[in-house]
Chains A and B, each alone.
Chain A
Amino acid sequence: MNQTHILSWILFTPLIGAIVLLFVPRQLDNAQRVIGNVFGFLGLAVSLPLIWRFQIGTPGYQFRENYDWIPSIGAHYSLGIDGISFLLVMLTTILGAISILSSWSAIQNRKKEYYILFLLLQTGMLGVFMALDFFLFYLFWEVMLVPMYFLIGVWGSDRRLYAAIKFFLYTLAGSVLMLLAILALYYRAHEVAGAGAAYTFDIPTSLGAVPQFSTTLQRILFWGFFFAFAIKVPMFPFHTWLPDAHTEAPTAGSVILAGVLLKMGTYGFIRFSLPLLPTDAVARQHIINILMVLSVVGIIYGALVCLMQKDMKKLIAYSSVSHLGFCTLGIFALNPHGVSGSVIQQINHGISTGALFLIVGVLYERRHTRMISEYGGLSTPMPNFAAIYLIATLSSLGLPLLNGFIGEFTILSGVFQVSLRWTAWAVVGIVLGAAYLLWLYQRVMFGPVTNPMNEHLPDLNMREYATLVPLMLLAFWIGIYPKPLFRVLDVPVRQIVEQVNPGYYNSATAQRWGEKPPVAAANDAARTESDSTKALAASAPPAIIAASSEPIAVNTAEKR
């Protein structure tokens, strides 16, 4: 493997798998899923070298590849990752391998097409996180629609056709607007660069020109991109496709939808929407206010709707609306805690919601129903399953020592620096989250076995362990020792915050963003530092967060 082409290898291994599968005869039933799984794991294997090759603390993009693709318009085949996309790429390859494995017995008809489409989907999603060229980015962004559409439409449950078309149309509507915005950006960036400059779709170059645009244009561009991402995330008024798609998709499809696809939206927010925020303070604050309100409404509305659900999968789907609300809330807090907490929470959501969907899949394979009322007292016949399900639940609702806590706490600490009110509302969401998840667990697992069909359900088999246990390990790891993740995120997040919120590192203007006067903020920083030293000794979870925020605090002090 050539060192410089590692991203291409990661990107195209699933595609190669899909092409190989294309030539496997239809009669070889078993070979199809074996090959599908082999390439699922190969996809993960080729991405592992990233872990030790990735240089933490190096600013900018790494593993860059750049080739001319369509010279006449300046489109390049240009790949590269920074800390944020590194984490998301790893999440994609891990969840990809796991969900392909989870399909082993769940998918019984048209296996060949299933694995081909799944591998294509993998390539599409990875491409979105790696692309450094708007044209390439858009290509991957759109292309992954097709396999997902088929996965829902062919292998989904009863209302799959409706869900598939709805998913497709919603996403397409958003992305077509984004295409227009990309083109507008492309032209205006060229005008700003001067007549001699070449037209380019290069993402860093184009976004670098944004500060020189007029406020009106910045605003138009922001909203042009916004709808594509808001639909994908999904933010509150654009979320209606999500419950249908998640509920009707096959288990593996739901895992990927929740685990990775939604992250494409938040990734877009961080990578594109933040740099596109108007430079004018009033216009910017206006947009931020709207987004904060939408995020908070999403958090609470999603949680409330969860309490009303009769269908397990639908409940978890709505919980995604609530959880992703936290992610967007963190992003638009525009400070390091908010943004890095948001990325961590995106990873966490992929892990814990992915696990929850797998768990529903386990039950569905045994009983072919997702209705909560059909279950009850399952902890008696399935004790091991009960343990894993409990961990997933707790991780999703944010219990300390598990991953969800780290993400939510960091986000809230970031939002707190901006506004107490929003933080308070978001905390309501956490409480509601605990309520619906625990109530669901209680109704399904505790008490006597009410339905005689549930009395002899088999416990988890080896393959199911293989899909769930890695996720549990990751949940514990992030919950106990998240420092590596924060270290990876530190530099890219700081770059972004410096770019979009220069006031944050500059105490003179800090009060515009924080409600506290500079002196109080300084005290705060000092307190965090001393806290962190104390807490490190005790090695309690909050310590890790504080420790991770240490460089930021120090940095603030230095600047001052």
Chain B
Amino acid sequence: MFPPRQDVLRLMPEIILSLSGILLMLIEPFLSGARRTLIVTLAALGSGLALVSTIYPATLPGTAFSGLLRIDGFSVFVHVVVEAVAFLVIIGSADYLDREKIQHGEYYALVLFATVGMCVMAGAAELMTAFVGLETSSISTYILAGYRRDVPRSNESAMKYFLLGSFATAFFLYGIALLYGATGTTQLARMTFPTTPGRERLLDLGLGLMLVGLAFKIAAAPFQLWTPDVYEGAPTPVTALMASGPKAAAFALLLRILATVGAAGTFWFWALWVSAALTMFVGNLAAIAQSNVKRMLAYSSISHAGYILVALAAAAASDQVELGVAAVLYYLAVYALMKLGAFIFVSQLGGESERHMEIDDFRGLAVRQPVAAACFALFLLSLLGLPVTSGFLGKFYIFNAALASRLIWLAVLLAINTVIAAFYYLRVIVVMYMRQPNQTWPPAPMPWAVTFVLSIAAAGTFYLGLFPGRVMALATQAALSLPGR
């Protein structure tokens, strides 16, 4: 009746996350307005505990629940990333929700449930499980995107995300069905190339549909159109979550399929190549034209998906998957930290009902709030990819993987995009540091919780930029732990 004890331990982070989500929903009605801090504390505690409990899956690698989940270094790495994101987002949201007067327990519960979904996606060794994880995380984020109920923009965001997202999920599901038809299994490891004539076309079709579904989730061109509107309309801490967590999970799923199913690498390669090139250019060129910082960051996250796709294409092109996979994993960690930091900063600076998101509102911020401005400048420089920040090493590993797989043109396109991107990141820094402060609108000082999140993200950005050795070793181990084709 009960699953073996080991399997339960392997699933410990997911269990803790789900239980604390449920607990939050249960106790919320019993708490009066003054006790709101208790909710935040509980939620942070839950995600923190989940992060700590990752030690169980880390020490007990293997498959769980009759092969539905595969707990290996890879899934543990992604677990740590998404759980850390959830932890930081929860802490960074508290003040925002207070200000917007939408401080409710279900917000945190939804963040936790979304994280459960992402964790399942990271560990899924079977496509139905992956689908369940994808849906759990997606549906939670649909609701979160519309969390500012009385703001039309937020509603628009949720609606758009929901409609297009379900459409994409349907593609994914149809892909699973076709794959099942072609290979007779939903277990990734057992999906060998079909010998029956005519089936291989089915396999290709299924793989193609799945790629479309996941490309939507990671906002890769030409499926990126929803991103700017959804990111802009959603409450900013939710945007921070969407930009880092679900993206990491969807990339993880892509990688696992790529590394496990032999046909995927060859079939996907050109699609990944073209999509990587398109995504980089679309994201960066559109970001240049933005005057709203939040929207600019949304476009920038599209372009970053393009950078990661370069490494993915490198993994697909070569027999040695691990170089590309490790580069993706490292970049995911790096990217999650810097993007999360940037969005949390913007969420605080935006002020009541996110009125101050225009680039002009950042004028002279360095004089008003030197520390916060320095943090934001650091994140921007890291997104741009300057040495000493983690963004550089992330990009370096991608370059490295691309050149090792002989994707020279893709590497050159990535280089060109770095320069294009410099233009809009620098513009924000120029406004913050080189213009006179805005007299009419003094930004509120940073509350301690936001400062905490910013300092963690900044410290991580420096650490990953100067001493990548340990984390990169973990990423490489994670890449090697994939079953291989």
Is B a genuine binding partner of A?
Answer: yes
Taking CB atoms, residues of chain A closer than 8 Å to B400 are: 73, 183
Q: How many residues of A contact B (CB 8 A)?
A: 33
Does chain A have a CB within 8 A of B483? no
Q: Do B415 and A176 touch across chains, with their CB atoms under 8 A apart? A: yes
- Assess A154 versus B434: contact at CB under 8 Å? Given A72-B473, A183-B400: yes
Q: Do B434 and A184 touch across chains, with their CB atoms under 8 A apart? A: no
**Complex Cα–Cα for A380 and B426 (A):** 46
Provide the main secondary structure of the chain A interface: helix
- Assess A153 versus B387: contact at CB under 8 Å? Given A70-B468, A179-B415, A180-B403: no
How would residues 420 to 440 of chain B score, 1 for a CB under 8 Å from any chain A CB and 0 otherwise? 001100110010011000000
**Complex Cα–Cα for A72 and B477 (A):** 12
Q: Do B426 and A165 touch across chains, with their CB atoms under 8 A apart? A: yes
- Interface segment, A46-54, A167-175, A281-289, A490-498? A167-175
Give the residue name and chain of the B residue nearest to A170 (CB): B419
**Partner pick for B412 among A71, A145, A168, A180, CB 8 A cutoff:** A180
Q: Which of B387, B419, B423, B468 has the largest number of chain A CB atoms within 10 A?
A: B387
Q: Do A180 and B387 touch across chains, with their CB atoms under 8 A apart? A: no
Q: Which of B465-480 contact A (CB under 8 A)?
A: 467-469, 472-473, 476
Q: Do B392 and A142 touch across chains, with their CB atoms under 8 A apart? A: yes
How many Å from the CB of B204 to the closest CB on chain A? 32
Provide the main secondary structure of the chain B interface: helix
Does chain B have a CB within 8 A of A431? no
- Assess A153 versus B404: contact at CB under 8 Å? Given A72-B473, A139-B387, A143-B387: no
**Partner pick for A165 among B386, B403, B412, B423, CB 8 A cutoff:** B423
Taking CB atoms, residues of chain B closer than 8 Å to A146 are: 381, 386
Does chain A have a CB within 8 A of B418? yes
Does chain B have a CB within 8 A of A138? yes
Taking CB atoms, residues of chain A closer than 8 Å to B422 are: 168-169, 172
Q: Which of A135-190 contact B (CB under 8 A)?
A: 138-140, 142-143, 145-146, 149-150, 153-154, 160-161, 164-165, 168-169, 172-173, 176-177, 179-180, 183-184, 187
Q: Which of B363-403 contact A (CB under 8 A)?
A: 366-367, 381, 386-388, 392, 396, 399-400, 403
Taking CB atoms, residues of chain B closer than 8 Å to A69 are: 469
How would residues 331 to 359 of chain B score, 1 for a CB under 8 Å from any chain A CB and 0 otherwise? 00000000000000000000000000000
Q: Do B418 and A168 touch across chains, with their CB atoms under 8 A apart? A: no
**Complex Cα–Cα for A153 and B399 (A):** 30
Q: Do A142 and B430 touch across chains, with their CB atoms under 8 A apart? A: no
Taking CB atoms, residues of chain B closer than 8 Å to A184 are: 403, 408
Give the residue name and chain of the A residue nearest to B400 (CB): A183
**Complex Cα–Cα for A146 and B434 (A):** 14
Q: Do B423 and A179 touch across chains, with their CB atoms under 8 A apart? A: no
Q: Which of A289-313 contact B (CB under 8 A)?
A: none
Taking CB atoms, residues of chain B closer than 8 Å to A169 are: 419, 422-423
Q: Do A72 and B434 touch across chains, with their CB atoms under 8 A apart? A: no
Does chain A have a CB within 8 A of B411? yes
How would residues 111 to 139 of chain A score, 1 for a CB under 8 Å from any chain B CB and 0 otherwise? 00100000000000000000000000011
Give the residue name and chain of the B residue nearest to A149 (CB): B426
Q: Do B404 and A187 touch across chains, with their CB atoms under 8 A apart? A: yes
**Complex Cα–Cα for A145 and B387 (A):** 10
Q: Do B430 and A179 touch across chains, with their CB atoms under 8 A apart? A: no
How many Å from the CB of A369 to the closest CB on chain B? 22
Q: Which of B388, B430, B467, B473 has the largest number of chain A CB atoms within 10 A?
A: B430
Q: Do A168 and B476 touch across chains, with their CB atoms under 8 A apart? A: no
**Partner pick for A72 among B403, B411, B469, CB 8 A cutoff:** B469
- Assess A142 versus B423: contact at CB under 8 Å? Given A72-B469, A179-B399, A180-B415: no
How many Å from the CB of B77 to the closest CB on chain A? 15
Taking CB atoms, residues of chain A closer than 8 Å to B430 are: 153, 161, 164-165
How many Å from the CB of A142 to the closest CB on chain B? 5
Give the residue name and chain of the B residue nearest to A26 (CB): B370
How would residues 60 to 103 of chain A score, 1 for a CB under 8 Å from any chain B CB and 0 otherwise? 00000000011111000000000000000000000000000000
How many Å from the CB of B107 to the closest CB on chain A? 37
Q: Do B415 and A183 touch across chains, with their CB atoms under 8 A apart? A: no
Q: Do A150 and B433 touch across chains, with their CB atoms under 8 A apart? A: yes
**Partner pick for B387 among A138, A154, A160, CB 8 A cutoff:** A138
- Assess A142 versus B386: contact at CB under 8 Å? Given A73-B400, A150-B433, A187-B403: yes
Taking CB atoms, residues of chain A closer than 8 Å to B415 are: 176-177, 179-180
Give the residue name and chain of the A residue nearest to B418 (CB): A176
**Complex Cα–Cα for A184 and B403 (A):** 7
Give the residue name and chain of the A residue nearest to B469 (CB): A70
Taking CB atoms, residues of chain A closer than 8 Å to B408 are: 180, 184
- Assess A161 versus B434: contact at CB under 8 Å? Given A72-B469, A139-B388: yes
Q: Do A72 and B418 touch across chains, with their CB atoms under 8 A apart? A: no
**Partner pick for A164 among B418, B434, B469, CB 8 A cutoff:** B434
Q: Do A143 and B468 touch across chains, with their CB atoms under 8 A apart? A: no
How many Å from the CB of B41 to the closest CB on chain A? 32
How many Å from the CB of A69 to the closest CB on chain B? 8
How many Å from the CB of B408 to the closest CB on chain A? 8
**Complex Cα–Cα for A138 and B387 (A):** 8
Q: Do B434 and A143 touch across chains, with their CB atoms under 8 A apart? A: no
**Complex Cα–Cα for A149 and B476 (A):** 36
Q: Which of A9-51 contact B (CB under 8 A)?
A: none
- Assess A153 versus B433: contact at CB under 8 Å? Given A72-B473, A169-B423, A176-B418: yes
How many Å from the CB of A44 to the closest CB on chain B? 24
**Complex Cα–Cα for A140 and B388 (A):** 9
Taking CB atoms, residues of chain B closer than 8 Å to A164 are: 430, 434
Q: Do B419 and A173 touch across chains, with their CB atoms under 8 A apart? A: yes
Taking CB atoms, residues of chain A closer than 8 Å to B426 are: 149, 165, 168
**Complex Cα–Cα for A160 and B422 (A):** 17
Give the residue name and chain of the B residue nearest to A135 (CB): B396
Taking CB atoms, residues of chain B closer than 8 Å to A180 are: 399, 403, 408, 411-412, 415
Q: Do B419 and A176 touch across chains, with their CB atoms under 8 A apart? A: yes
How many Å from the CB of B114 to the closest CB on chain A? 33
Which residues of A are at the interface with B, using a C-beta cutoff of 8 A?
69-73, 110, 113, 138-140, 142-143, 145-146, 149-150, 153-154, 160-161, 164-165, 168-169, 172-173, 176-177, 179-180, 183-184, 187
Extra contacts besides A71-B469, A150-B433, A183-B399 (17): CB < 8 Å? A70-B467, A70-B472, A110-B367, A142-B387, A143-B387, A143-B388, A153-B430, A164-B434, A165-B430, A169-B423, A172-B422, A176-B416, A176-B419, A179-B399, A183-B403, A184-B403, A184-B408
What are 7 A-B residue pairs whose CB atoms fall within 8 Å in the complex?
A: A72-B476, A146-B386, A161-B430, A165-B423, A169-B422, A176-B415, A183-B411
Which residues of B are at the interface with A, using a C-beta cutoff of 8 A?
366-367, 381, 386-388, 392, 396, 399-400, 403-404, 408, 411-412, 415-416, 418-419, 422-423, 426-427, 430, 433-434, 467-469, 472-473, 476
Closest 4 CB pairs of A and B: A139-B387, A176-B415, A153-B434, A142-B387
